[in-house]
Amino acid sequence: MKKKIITLIIALATLSSCEKFLDKRDPTATSFDEFFNTEEDLRRVVYSSYLDAFMGPGERRLLFYMTEGRSDNAYARIETDHHMIIANGNMTSNSALAVYYWNLHNQHIGRINTYLANVDVPYVENESTRQRYKAILEGLRIWHYFRITEFWGNVPFVLTPVKLEEATPAVTPKAEILDKLFEMSEDVANRLPENEGTTNAYMFNKYSFKTLVMRYALYNGRYELAARLAKEIMDSGKYQLHPQYANLFNYQADKTNKEFIIKFDMESHNNSATASFQHLAPQYRTGNGQSYVVPLKALVDSYWTLQGRPIDNCPLHSKQAYELNPKLNRDPRYEASVFGHGDLFNNEKIDIYDSKSAFYYQNLRSSRSGYWFKKFVDQADAFRTGGNMHFSLARYAEVLLTYAEAKIMLNEIDELAKSCINQIRKRAGLDMSIADVNLVAKSQQEWIALIRNERRIEFAGEGLRYSDILRWKTAETVLNQAALGHMRLNGAGQSEVLKIEDRKFLNHQYLWPFHESSFQVEPNLVQNPGY
C-alpha cells in the first residue's frame, strides 16, 4: 500500500503515462538518473509535461474546445468524455471524471517536482538553456495548481518530491495557495525570455506566461493584478488583433496571425494529426465528422445584433424574428463561429429535418441541436484522416477583454477599458456608429452585462465559458435550463424548438468532488460540501 501511495503522489518519470513521450536514449535504463542527464532529456520532459495535460490533439476529455460541452454554450454527446455529466448535473463523488482529472494534475505536479529537484543534473551547453527550462517547468506546475484550485478549492500544496513519511500532505486553503502562486508567478515571468523561439514556440515566454497568470488573476477576483498584467502585455507590442476574425479558426490564418499568445501548434504534439474536424463537424457523406460537441440555442441567441444590442431589445426586429433567423442583422461573429439549418456545407444545403439527409438531427453523428461550430472546422479536412491546424489556448483578444472586465469590476472604467471593447467590436465588423460603447452612458451593472456577453461571443467554442459561469456564479441559473436547439414554426404557425436534455445545477457543484477512492490514498483530503 505504501508503494502505491508513493507512486500516486510522487508520480516519478518512470510512470507509464510519460514513457511514450520520454523515449529513453538508453533502452536498458531502469532508473530516473539513467535517462535524465542531457540537454535533450531536459527538453523532452518539458515537452511531455505540455503534451500529456494541455496539448494532446486526440484526447477529447482534455481538449479546450470540447469543454464547451460543460457549459450552456454546447452539448457534448459522449458521456465518457465527462463534459455531458458536468453540464447536466450528474457529477458525483463516484464519477470517473473526479479521479481522472485529479490524478492527471497531481501526477504531473509530482513529476515536475522531481524534475525541478534534479534540474541541475543534466549537462547543457549553455546554462541559460537550463534556466529557461526550469522556469517553464515552474510555470507548468503553477498552471496545474491554478486548475485544481479552480475545481476543488482547498487541496494539498506540495512543491518538492514527497518522501514516504510525507506521502499524505495536509490540505492548504485555496486563498493561501493562490497567494503563493501569484507571488511565484512574478518571479517565473521575470526569468522567462521575452520572445518565443523559432522552434518550441508553444513553450512559455515572459508574456505568454503573464497571459496565463492574468487569466487566473481575473478568475480569482484579483482585478488589480489582472489589469496590470493585461496592460503590460498590451504595452509589450508583441501581439495584435488579426484583421479577419473568422480566419483565426481555419487554415487561412491559423499559422500566420500575431494574435495567438499561448500556442497549441503542430510541434507541441510532435506533428501528430489534429482532429478538430472529426470532433466538431457533421458526418458529411463519407467524411469523418462526429459532432461530438455542438452549439445550443442559448449560445445562438446570445449573439447580439449588428448594432451591438441584445436580440430582445432591438427596435429593428422582434426577438422571435431573430430566433427564427440567426443571421438576421446579427453580429458577424455568429456566422464566423456557428453554422446550421439552411447553411451550405461543402456546397450542400443543410436540412436537419430531412430524415434522408446526413445532417438529420436524429442521426447519431449529426447534431441534436441542429447547429455546429464553424471554428476549427475547415472543409479542407473533410476527407482527410487528420489535419495540421494550429490552435490558441490564449489570444490577444482575451488580454483586451480582461483589462476591460477588471476595470469594470473595480468600477474604474477608463478610456483604455472602453477602447479595448471597441477594438474587439470593430474587428468583428459591428456597426460602430451605434455599437461604440462610448455613445451611451452605462451603470456598472450594464457594463458587467455587456462585458460578460462580449466574452461569451468572442470566445464561443474556445473553452472559456465553463470557467466564466463558475466564477460569475451564474451556473446555477444558466445550467438549470433545458438544453435546446434549433427553433422553427410548425404548420400552425407556432414556434417549436428541438429539446435535447433537461439540466440541473446545484450550488455545491461550483466545486468538484474528490473521488471516494482518493481518500484511501490521501486520507487528509476533505470532501467538498454536498457530495
DSSP letters of 314-378? -SSS-HHHHHH-TTTTB-THHHHHEEETT-EETTEE--TT-TTSTT-TTSTTS-SSSEEE-TT--
How far is residue 20 from each of residues 43, 48, 49, 346, measured CA to CA in Å?
15, 9, 12, 38
Cβ–Cβ under 8 Å, residues 466 and 76? no
Among 3.40.50.300, 1.25.40.390, 3.40.50.10310, 3.40.190.10, name the CATH number for the domain at 39-251+509-521.
1.25.40.390
* The predicted structure's pLDDT at residue 165: 61
Domain spans, the chain: 39-251+509-521
- CA-to-CA distance for 9 and 404, rounded, in angstroms? 40
Give the list of residues 6+ apart from residue 429 with CB closer than 8 angstroms, or none. 245, 331, 332, 333
Helix then strand then coil, % of the chain, to nearest 5:
45, 10, 45
Asked if residues 191 and 131 have their Cβ atoms less than 8 Å apart, the reply is yes
Asked if 230 and 406 touch (Cβ cutoff 8 Å), the reply is yes
**Res 381: pLDDT:** 94
465 contact partners, CB below 8 Å, separation of at least 6: 68, 70, 71, 72, 73, 456, 459
Q: Provide the 10 A C-beta neighbour count for residue 350.
A: 23
User: How high is the pLDDT of residue 35?
Assistant: 76
Q: Check residue 197 and give its pLDDT.
A: 83
List 38's β-bridge partners, or say none: 123
Instruction: Show the 3-state SS of 222-276.
Output: CHHHHHHHHHHHHHHCCCCCCCCCHHHHCCCCCCCCCCEEEEECHHHHCCCCECH
Q: Is the pTM of this model over 0.85?
A: yes
pLDDT of residue 346: 86
Tell me, what's the pLDDT at 31?
A: 62
The confidence score (pLDDT) of residue 15 equals 37
Largest CA distance in the chain: 77
Q: Which amino acid is at 206?
A: K
> Which residue type does 324 have?
L
Rounded Cα gap, residues 510 and 476, in angstroms: 9
Digit-by-digit pLDDT tens for the chain (531 residues) are 444 344 344 443 333 334 443 444 444 445 666 778 999 999 999 999 999 999 999 999 999 999 999 999 999 999 999 999 999 999 999 999 999 999 999 999 999 999 999 999 999 999 999 999 999 999 999 999 999 999 999 999 999 998 766 668 899 999 999 999 999 999 999 999 999 888 999 999 999 999 999 999 999 999 999 999 999 999 999 999 999 999 999 999 999 999 999 999 999 999 999 999 999 999 877 678 999 999 999 999 999 999 999 999 999 999 999 999 999 999 999 999 999 999 999 889 999 999 999 999 999 999 999 999 999 999 999 989 899 999 999 999 999 999 999 999 999 999 999 999 999 999 999 999 999 999 999 999 999 999 999 999 999 999 999 999 999 999 999 999 999 999 999 989 999 999 999 999 999 999 999 999 999 989 999 999 999
User: How far is 227 from 363, CA to CA, in rounded Å?
Assistant: 46
The per-residue pLDDT for 200 is 94
Close Cβ partners of 130 (under 8 Å, ≥ 6 residues apart): 39, 42, 119, 120, 122, 124
Give the strand pairing for 348-349 and 371-373: unpaired
Q: What is the C-alpha separation between 444 and 201, in angstroms, rounded?
A: 39
State the pLDDT at residue 137.
98
Q: Would you state the cell numbers that stand for residue 491, as one nine-digit string? A: 404548420
Sign of CA dihedral 358, 302, 375, 145: negative
Contacting residues for 242 by C-beta, under 8 A, at least 6 apart: 248, 253, 257, 258, 259, 427
Nearest in space to 395 (alpha carbons), one of 469, 459, 465, 457: 459
Q: How many helices (H) and strands (E) does the chain have?
A: 21, 12
